């Protein structure tokens, strides 16, 4: 269950003498996911698929907006198309992984680019998972769940 890590953080905080207010604030933490795609329909579809999982979802429709929101909101995960206006998804991923503040952010590439070169570029940029469109919702759900669980330990 993806809520397991929250319970562990709460117990750790309480054990270390954290205030009741801090403990209560931690109980409400939901993993943040930024969805980056220039298609409003794809962003909506991903939101519907992942919304049922209880994540806090943010959206961006281009690479520049994505970088701004990543720096501002520090999401736990970014779901990223390769072909987006402004800065492409590969460059966005490189920026995520190059920053000490965001280098631990998980990245799922969800794209219609299915070539070997695209997969290799995504891997070299630091992408964790590569899913091609069209995609199965269960594949995206399970990839997101697994990455977030492994990130939280």
Q: Report how many helices (DSSP H) and strands (DSSP E) the chain contains, helices first.
A: 7, 5
Whether residue 80 contacts residue 110, with contact meaning beta carbons closer than 8 Å, is answered with yes
Q: Assess whether 80 and 17 both reside in one domain.
A: no
Indicate the number of domains in the chain: 2
Q: Assess whether 25 and 38 both reside in one domain.
A: no
Contacts of 68 (CB under 8 A, 6+ apart): 60
Q: 53: domain range?
A: 31-152
What angle separates helix 89-98 from helix 116-125, to the nearest 10 degrees?
20
Residue of 42, 40, 9, 33 whose CA lies nearest to 23: 9
CA pair distance 86, 89, nearest whole angstrom: 9
pLDDT in tens, 66-80: 999 999 999 999 999
Assigned token pair, 82: 């390769």
Q: Assess whether 96 and 135 both reside in one domain.
A: yes
Q: Assess whether 55 and 19 both reside in one domain.
A: no
CA pair distance 28, 30, nearest whole angstrom: 6
Q: Mean of the per-residue pLDDT values for the chain?
A: 87
Query: Is it the case that residue 93 has pLDDT exceeding 90?
Result: yes
Over residues 122-136, mean pLDDT: 98
Q: Is the pTM of this model over 0.85?
A: no
């Amino acid at each position: 269950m993806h809520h397991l890590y929250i319970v562990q953080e709460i117990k750790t905080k309480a054990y270390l003498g954290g205030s009741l207010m801090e403990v209560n604030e931690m109980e409400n933490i939901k993993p943040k996911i930024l969805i980056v795609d220039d298609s409003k329909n794809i962003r909506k579809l991903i939101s519907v698929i992942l919304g049922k999982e209880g994540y806090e979802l943010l959206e961006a429709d281009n690479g520049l907006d994505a970088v701004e929101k990543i720096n501002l909101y520090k999401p736990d995960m970014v779901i990223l198309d390769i072909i987006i206006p402004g800065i492409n998804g590969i460059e966005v991923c490189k920026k995520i992984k190059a920053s000490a503040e965001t280098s631990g952010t998980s990245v799922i590439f969800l794209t219609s680019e299915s070539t070997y070169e695209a997969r290799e570029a995504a891997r070299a940029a630091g992408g964790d998972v590569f899913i091609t469109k069209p995609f199965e919702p269960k594949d995206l759900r399970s990839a997101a769940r697994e990455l977030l669980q492994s990130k939280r330990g």
